[in-house]
Amino acid sequence: MHPPTSTKMLARAKVNLCLHVTGKTADGYHLLDSLVVFPNVGDVISVAPADILGLQIDGPFASGLSCSDNIIIDAAKTFGTRRGAAITLIKNLPVASGIGGGSSDAAATLHLLADHWGVALPGAEKTLQLGADVPVCMTAKAQHMQGIGEVLNPVPDLPEFAIVLVNAGVLISTKHVFAALSKTRNPPMDAAKGFADFNGLCDYLKSQRNDLQAAASKISPEISRVIKALQAEPACALARMSGSGATCFGLFETLHQAQDAAMKIKKTNPDWWVQPAMVYR
């Protein structure tokens, strides 16, 4: 009998196509209303048999990350077991970049370890305790996210489209961005009546917002520069910041258009992280 082999999962980036800040709870958490998607790009998590629990980090954005003080280890500990596993993170996504890299890593770890150890996934309450974005990352599918991140509803009629993610290498503190908000009570998202096609989706998104974009842009003017670079591409239907930044995105109808735009942006800005990808139903 052969021993179990390593299993792996793509921890997809989380992109907020729009993000409305609608209020604040008594204990200081911001209430959100957001349309979230998961492009086919992300970190890679793998799990292999081991006597003790451990984490190894590699990849283009591994520098500076801790193997002990890490949300992946926190996720593993939610099972309340003393089982071992050798976890490897290939960090392909920029750190602290508004695309849920850490939360998606935690979600992928939970799925992999539940399968690896043959146990049930932790409940919703424990998942939320890991971070507000972890519940939506557990689905890795388009969701209408509300509350502090715990209220989720699927978006079944979302069309397939392409996206270009761009980060100028700027680290922004989510805490500082929320602190810089001029208003914490803003109108919620308009009710979506369905998206017949890519153009319908973009028309809807153009009437929505990211309430954190202005605050983040004041902290990091590079965000505005990235958005302008995306808007300059003729096939880009919409450019906006994701989450609390500093990663921005441009929407394209086809992957070929996205790849072409990404190549041009990267050529002009070689120090930027630029990644085209598909967003599937």
DSSP state of 59: S
State how far the alpha carbon of 184 is from the alpha carbons of 4, 5, 151, 219, 252, in Å: 50, 48, 19, 17, 31
- State the residue for tokens 């939970």: 110
CB-CB contact of 41 with 277 (8 Å)? yes
Q: Considering the candidates 14, 33, 105, 211, report the single residue annotated as catalytic.
A: 14
Sign, CA torsion 199/202/204/207: negative
Residue 266 is among the residues annotated as catalytic for this protein:
no
DSSP state of 247: -
DSSP state of 210: B
CB atoms within 10 A of CB 66: 9
Residue 8 is among the residues annotated as catalytic for this protein:
no
**Count of alpha carbons within 13 angstroms of residue 267, beta-carbon side:** 6
SS3 108: helix
The structure tokens listed for 37 are 């998607």
CB-CB contact of 255 with 280 (8 Å)? no
SS3 139: helix
Q: Considering the candidates 8, 133, 193, 264, report the single residue annotated as catalytic.
A: 133
Catalytic site positions: 14, 133
